[in-house]
Structure 1
C-alpha cells in the first residue's frame, strides 16, 4: 500500500497530462480503495474475462488492471484522482506493476 501511494505521487508528477492526484492524502485513500477493489472485484472480472484473456495470451489482464484504476478514480472522485483516458490508466497500471515487481524482488533478495 505504501508502494502504491508513493508510485501514485511519482507517476502523477512524471505524467501530469495523463494522471492527476490532488494530494498525498488522496493518494493514500486511492491506494486503500485500489487494494480493496483488487481483493473484491478483480477476481470476479478475471473469471468473467477468462475466454478473452486466453485468446489474447493474458494481455487482457492489463485492460482489467486499467479498469480497476479507472474504477478507483470514480470511487475516490475524479476531481481528486483522475486519468485522461482508459489508455492512460492501462499505461499507469503497467508502470505500477513494474514498480511493485521491482520493489518486491529487491525486498525478497534480502531474505
Structure 2
C-alpha cells in the first residue's frame, strides 16, 4: 500500500513539476503515473550501477555528481515513456531537483512519515 501511495504522490509531483518548467512536457496523468513507475524501476536497477561506476567523480565533486546521475535517469525515462518529453540535459537536471523538492513536500503533506512502523 505504501508503494502505491508513493507512486501516486510521485506522479502528482511530476505533473506539478512539468507544469512549472516550460522545458518539460507530460501529456496526462496516466503518463505521469507510468513515468513514476519507470523512474522507480530505473532508480532501483540503473542508479546503483551508475553510482558505483562514477564513484571517483562523485567523491571528487563531494556528491554533486549525483545530480548528473539523476538527470541521466530522467533523460533515460524520457526515452522510455511516450508522452514525456524533456528538452535537454539542463531541463532534466532542473526537473530532477524541482521534482525532488515537490515530492518531499507532497509526501510530508500526505503523512508519509507516519507509516514507518
TM class by shorter chain equals 0.7 to 0.9
Give the TM-score taking structure 2 as reference length: 0.84
Report the alpha carbon displacement of residue 96 of structure 1 after superposing the two structures with TM: 1.5
Task: Work out the CA distance in 2 between the residues paired with 1:22 and 1:53.
Answer: 34
Conserved? CA contact 2:47–2:69, under 8 Å? yes
How do 1:25-64 residues align onto structure 2 when only pairs under 5 Å count? 25-64=30-69
Give the equivalent residue in structure 2 for 1:97. 100
Query: For the aligned residues, what is the CA RMSD?
Result: 1.8
2:11 maps to what in 1? 5
Provide structure 2 residue ranges, at least 5 long, that are not aligned to the other structure. Answer: 1-6
In structure 1, the gaps of 5 or more residues are: none
Answer with 101-110 or 26-35: which moved more. Answer: 101-110
* Number of positions where the alignment pairs a residue of Structure 1 with one of Structure 2: 108
With normalisation by structure 1, the TM-score equals: 0.88
Q: Could you report, residue by residue, the CA deviation over 1:35-90 in whole angstroms, capped at 9, with x for unpaired residues? A: 0000010000000000000000000001101111110010113xx10111111001
